[in-house]
Structure formats: C-alpha cells, structure tokens
Structure 1
C-alpha cells in the first residue's frame, strides 16, 4: 500500500499543470540544498581541528559537544520557518477500505525523508569519521552518531507539534535568545552543562537509548494527534467564525487609492500567507546585526550598503515581489471594474513606502553602532522608496503565478507566486545600491557613498510619475495573459 501511495503522488506531481514551473523551482532548490550539504560536510571535517585550534588544553570533542546544542536549537527554528510539512489528499482514502493507521504511518514516514533530516548526516558523519581517525573508541563514536541522528528525529517530530501551537515556537525562540545572551556576555556558560550531557552519550554508550526512546515517544504523540482528527466529517467540515467588518476610514485621506489600500490591509489581516510574510519582513530588521557587529565588514563598507537595503526593505522584498499575485483569486473581478490601472499600482507603491518608513523608525536602535551606520540605513531606506519599489512593481508585471491566500505553508519555503524571473529582477535591487555606494566611496570617501545612495533614491521619488506610467504600460500590455494565468489552479 505504501508503494501505491508513492506511485499516486508521483502521478499527481507529474500530471499537474504546474509541472514544468514546479520542476524549475525544485531544480533551483536542489542546487541550494547541495550548497548547504557541501558546507555542512566541510564543517564536519574541520570542526575537530577548529576546536583544537581555538580552545587550547581541552579535548576538542568536549568543545564540539559544548556547542552542539546550538545546532539543534537553530535546526528547530530553521525547520519552523522552512520545513513545509508533507501533505497528501487524504479525503478519497477515507471512503475506501484502507486502514487509517496505514495512511497516518505513511504521512509521518514522509516527514523523515527530507533535506532537514539529511543535512545532519553531512555534519555528524564526517565528525565521527575524524574521531575514528584520531583514535577515539569506535563503539562509543558510533553510538554518539546514532544519538545525534536520534535527536534530529526528535526535532523532526517536535516541529510537527510546534506547528500546531505558535506558543511553543516563540517559547523556543526566547530560550535560544536567552542562551545566546548568557553565553555572549559571559553571564553563565549554558553550553558547559549541556555539553557534559552530550559528551556522556559518548562516554556511556548505553545512553543512546534515551534519544531513540524520545524520538519514538514524539512519533507516537504525533500519531495520536493525527489519529484523533482522522475522520471524514472532521476533514470536510468547516469552522464557523464570527464575521467582523472594518471601516478603515482613516485611509480616506489618500483619495481614490484608499479603496485599494483598505483591500490590502484587510488581505494581510485576514489571510494566513500574507501574515507569515509580514512576520518574515519584521525579521529582516535584525539582518544588520550580521554585518554591523563584525569588524571585518567595517573594512568592506560595500557590504554595509547591501545590509542597509534589507534592514528597511523586508516588506518591500517579500510582500512587494508578489504583486499582483496577492490578488490572483479575485484579479478577474478587479480588472472588470471601471478603475484606472494607475491607481491600483500607486496604492501598492504607497503600501511599500509606508512599510519602509515604519521599518526605518524601528531601526533607530542601530544608532548604537554609530551615526555612519544609521546614515547608511537612512540612505538605504531612500533607495528602497525611490528605486527598489519601482523595480519591484515592474517585476510584478512578469509574475503570473497565483497565490492561495489561506494555504498555511511556511513563508520562507512556500514557492507559490515564485518564478525564476524574480531572481533576475532581484539582481538590480541587490547589486544596484552596492555599485552606487562603492564608486563615490572609492573615489572620495564613505560619506560621499552614503550621499550618492540617498540622492539616487530622492531622484527616483522625483520621477515617480514617469516610472509609474512606464510600469502601467507594461501591466496593461500583459493584462489578459495575467488573468488567464491566474485562472490556473495547482
């Protein structure tokens, strides 16, 4: 029966009208997966020697165990954002004589066959190989490897449970932040007692049973959770929710584009996918911490310009790139109304401008790193408003892949609305500000680069009318092709 399930899912994938587009995206994802696997492999090979180099007079394997907890915590957070839980259309199987236990076991078994469970192999197997090469006890090293893979499976099934309750996820994120804070400021070395626990999986091989039992227990917990709702009436019934209306009259000051702004705000508040993207855009605010805290990047300011675009441009880059796909479910109705296309595009531009402005205000704590950094962020915000917003809108004219608003998929891994053309459109948004900053910086100084980046954004704002006219012409030309494309469903 499992073989039959696999055969049916392959036919569903292959016969889909989106097979070619989905295949192209999956090829890109495969290249990304190969990159991360290669990086993990080389990290696994070098981890022992790096620990030996940087932490003197301590067994390198002890050092590795002290920090392996962070791998698993980051793995769990990474899974929450990226790991799209496998699904299958189970309704047809509920009315034919197939044991529900078989279907549930198949669903849970699919979760173990994923990139997120394969990646740890490329890290822990090389570490184990180095341990054997260095003369560590073979049996203990192998049981340690099995324990690491058992904990990986625990993360896999724990992610299933966390997805059912966001409270668990935010609690986990808070714990991770506290651990890093305590470690970074030398308040308390959380890694040491946890490292002792992980190292004991090597010194006492019989403890391998603990992560294996934990993985089995989490599997049973998931099985019980799915089994409790595995009924036909539960699968087809719809929850009734109280209907609420919102006036949003404060948006009327924007005149004729107010109706579109109200529609977008309601879309974000009421639907799953836009909410996820909004949360993702907030996370972009912390992107600068990767660059502004490292002295290395201070010596390469062009990367600071790159970071400044992300700090204030999270919403623009994530939500904006899916214009007009957000409206795909009612795009035909929208285009049949007696409304100027220009107003529709202008409303999207104002929405992105407001989001950039709010992000800039929220980025005020970056003043801590110096006024030069904050000036860079301000210049990046102007560039986002004056140029990146129009580049994003232009890219939307080439994006004809629909988005299902209430599909509860991961904002980071959901490829609905994605097409490879967006990668080409993204290049000027990333490389452009770096070039505009770098040339004056190299010829004059740092401040000249900031001023050039800011002036480019101001010029874009001044030419708003010209840009919108050109973009409107492109949208009008492809209007009916876009309507036809949005009528296709996966």
Structure 2
C-alpha cells in the first residue's frame, strides 16, 4: 500500500500546474541542503580535532559525551521551527477499502524522510568509529550508534507530535519553545542544572554498560506510538471538526477582545491563524527573538548613541508589523474570494489589523522595558518608536499590502521559503525603515536630537488618533485593487 501512496503522490506532483516552478525550487533547495550536509559531514570527520582544541585539558571523550544532549535539545528547537509535517490527501482514501492503519503508517514512514534525521549521524558517528571503537571496542560503538538513532527518532516524532497538537491549540507550540529556552537558560545562565553532566552520565555509561542503549530506543518507540494513536484518532475530518467546535468558540478564547465587538472577533480569528499555521507563527517568533536585539547594541559603547537606539527600538517594537504586515492579505489568500462576498465590512477588517498590530507591539514594548537598565532615555526612545510603529508604520504596511498579489501556503515554514514574496516587498520595505530617520537625522545633525525624537512621537500619536481617516483612505484604495489582488491569489 505504501508503494501505491507514493505513486499517487508522484502523479499529483507531475500533474500540478506549477510542476516546472516546483522542480526549480526543489533543485535549488536540494543544492543548498547538500551544501549544508557537506559542512556537517566535514565537522563530523574533524570533530575529534575540534574538541581537542576547544576542550582544553578535558578528555575529548568526556567532552563528546557531554555535547550530545545539547545537540538534541537544539535539534528539537530547530525542528519545531523548520521541519515540515508529512502530508497526504486522505479524503479520497477514506471512502475506499483502505485500512486506516495503512494511511497512518505511511504518514509515520514519510516523517522519517527528513534531512534533520541525517545530521546527527553525519555529525556524531565518525567520532564513534574513529575514537570510541578504537578505545572501547565495537560493542560500545554500536551502543552509541543505536542511542543516536533512538534519540533521533524520538526528537523526530516529538517535534511532529507537538506541531500537530499546536495546530489545534497554538499555545502548545509557544509553551514548548519556552520550556526549551528555560532549560537552556537554567544551564548556561542560571546554572541550576548541567545538561552536559547529565549527557555524560548517560553516554559515558554506555561505554561500561552498552545495554543502556535500549532506553533511547524505547523512548523513540513510545513517541512513534503516540503519534500513531493521535493520527489514527484524528484521521477523519468529522472528528477533528466536532472537537474544535466544542472546544473553541469565536473570540471567547480571548475574552479581552469581546469588548471590541465584530472587530474583536476578526482580531481573534487573526490570532488563531497565527498560532495554528507555521508561516505566520514564524513571523511572531522572529519578533520575539528580536527582543534580544538590544543586547547587541546597548552594551557596546560604540553603538550606544541615540541614532542606534532609534533603529533598534523601531525593530524591537515593530518587527512583527513589518514581517507580518508585508503579506497582510496573502495570509487570507485561500479564502480571499469568500471575504469579498461576505458581510464583513472591509473597514472593520482593517480595524482588526490595527488592533492586532497594536496588541502585539504593546506586548513587545513591555518585553523591551528591562532595557531601562541602560538608562531612562532608552525607555523613552522605545516608547516613541512604539508610537511611531502603531501609528505610521501600521498605516504604511496596510497601504503596501494593497500592492501584494502573490498568495502563500500557511503550512510551510518561513526558512528558505520565498512564496508570496516579490521584488515589490524589498522595494516597499525601504520607506518603512527610512521614514523615521528622514525626520530624526536633520535634527540630530544640528544637535537637536530631542526635538527630532519629540516630532517622531507627535507624528505617531497624530496618526494613531486619526486612524478613522486613514482607514477610509485605505478602504477606498483597496476597492480599486481588490479584483487584481483576488486574481493574483487564485494563481497557485
């Protein structure tokens, strides 16, 4: 049955309208992946030399055993961001005499065909063959290889399980990422635990007790079984639909949005779209990573000027607006025709976008407030650029969104994915980055930087309080381009 599924997938690929484009993208991605694999392979074959240089007086076997679990922790974090879920159009098979177990086994099997599952073998196995086998014998080396395989399978299915659960409840993804980050901080920053010591405790023990290799294999088997059960229980669309209907109700997931009426419902739906889909969720997570942007500039005396703070504050409080906003209507590309004929007024649709950007930017401003450690002026600049972002940049992004006619697939990750992007995005992003400096720089050159900052804040406030006017202008502009946008979104 697996061979039949593969044949059907190949036929669907070759009969697609965009076969030529898909082949070109896959060739480019294949070359890039091959290049990365060659780099990992080179590191693997020279890992003993690298550990000898970086480990100081520590035995390289001790250092090697200590970094394996660190790798798998970072591997899990990377998989949550980049690894794709294996897919199969199951609807046509559900009405045929095809066993559900066959469908689930196929999905589970294709989940192993990921480049992420090659990296640990290329990175760690050469060291095992060169050092562990020579020093401790073939049985210990086999135990290491089996343990690496077991942990790789465990990470593979754990990441897929979390991503599938996150498709129903986006908070699961954020909690998983937060737990991984906290574990890393507990080791490297707070020193509550030592992942390296725990890693050496297990992998160092493999040398004396090779039977310990059964533990990672059991963990991988249990994680595979959990995925199998979850897919089997949720294979029918009706079951998924009924569960969602009983668990989720409009914007009641976010009670604070109910006070905004229909605009709050639209904003709540936008949040659901972000949490449940990979591409928009990546824009939110990238924004969270930019919260550490200040650590690159503020501690550096050469980059601690007010001009740098304007730049950094604009990014920290507005990166989500820039990243997410440039594809504003493309997020709804799959049901854009339905929006055009729905009862939803486009003015309310725009107000929901304003509300979403304001909420996210407010959260980012609160997360950036600890930078007051570098001076109260830093916090003042962050607040000014926050006002600029929710007032000026939000309006500019929505204006530019009316000129984006390329659709995108929400289920695909953002890494190495240029779907929905064009030269217009790059050109139109320049005004977003340059506009505040057009106002600020002339005043700074004449030693009136505070005046420039004040004007930036005033302009941001004025645009925020005149949103009604800008929404009418944006709505009128949209009505002149809506059919062109819809036509662009229909091209798959």
In structure 1, the residue matched to 2:79 is: 79
What is the aligned partner in structure 1 of residue 329 from structure 2? 324
Deviation digits for residues 8-38 of structure 1, max 9, x if unmatched?
Answer: 1122233334556666765675576467546
1:123 — aligned with what?
A: 123
Distance 1:347 1:230 in 2: 34
- Look up the match of 2:317: 312
Using a 3 Å threshold, how does the CA distance of structure 1 residues 98 and 243 change in structure 2: closer, same or farther? closer
CA, structure 1 residues 292+14, in 2 after alignment: closer, same or farther (shift >3 Å)?
Answer: same
Listed one character per residue, the Cα deviations across residues 188-240 of structure 1 (whole Å, up to 9, x for unaligned) are 43421332212333555454443234323432343344345556975897864
Give the structure 2 partner of residue 481 of structure 1: 484
Please list every run of 5 or more consecutive structure 1 residues that lacks an aligned counterpart in the other structure: 253-258
TM-score scaled by structure 1?
Answer: 0.73
Instruction: Say whether the 8 Å CA contact 2:147–2:217 is kept in structure 1.
Output: yes
> How many residue pairs end up in the alignment?
476
Identify if the C-alpha distance between structure 1 residues 96 and 119 changes in structure 2 by more than 3 Å, giving closer, same or farther: same
Contact 2:393 2:432 (8 Å CA) reproduced? no
Aligned with 1:185: secondary structure? coil
2: CA distance, partners of 1:436 / 1:399: 25
In 2, Cα distance between equivalents of 1:118 and 1:304: 42
Instruction: Name which of 179, 195, 198 aligns with 2:203.
Output: 198
Query: How far did 1:100 drift?
Result: 3.8
Q: Which blocks of at least 5 consecutive residues in structure 2 are unaligned? A: none
State the 1:152 CA deviation.
1.1
Q: Is the 8 A contact 1:386 1:460 kept in 2?
A: yes
When structure 1 is superposed on structure 2, of 193-202 and 229-238 the one drifting more is 229-238
Cα separation, 2, equivalents of 1:66 and 1:422:
48
Give the secondary structure class of the aligned counterpart of 1:16.
coil
For 1:393, the equivalent position in structure 2 comes to 398
Partner SS, residue 56 of structure 1 = coil
CA deviation digits over 1:401-440, x for unaligned, max 9?
Answer: 4568xx7x47757979733447625863797599889989
Shift of 1:6: 1.7
User: Relative to 1, partners in 2 of residues 1:345 and 1:115: Cα closer, same or farther, differing over 3 Å?
Assistant: same
Which is further off, 355-364 or 204-213?
A: 204-213
Distance in 1 between residues matched to 2:462 and 2:417, nearest whole Å: 35
CA contact (8 A) 1:287 1:310 kept: yes
The RMSD of aligned alpha carbons is 5.0
Sort the Cα spacing of 1:486 and 1:201 in 2 relative to 1 into closer, same or farther, 3 A. Answer: same
Q: Which of 268, 271, 287 is the matching residue for 2:270?
A: 268
Deviating more after overlay: 163-172 vs 436-445: 436-445
TM-score, structure 2 as length reference: 0.73
Contact 1:325 1:401 in 2 (8 A): yes
Alpha-carbon distance change, 471 to 2 in structure 1, aligned in 2, over 3 angstroms: same
Aligned to 2:287: 284
Instruction: Determine which of 428, 431, 439 is the counterpart of 2:430.
Output: 428
2:385–2:456 CA contact under 8 A, matched in 1: no
Q: In 1, Cα distance between the equivalents of 2:330 and 2:351? A: 16
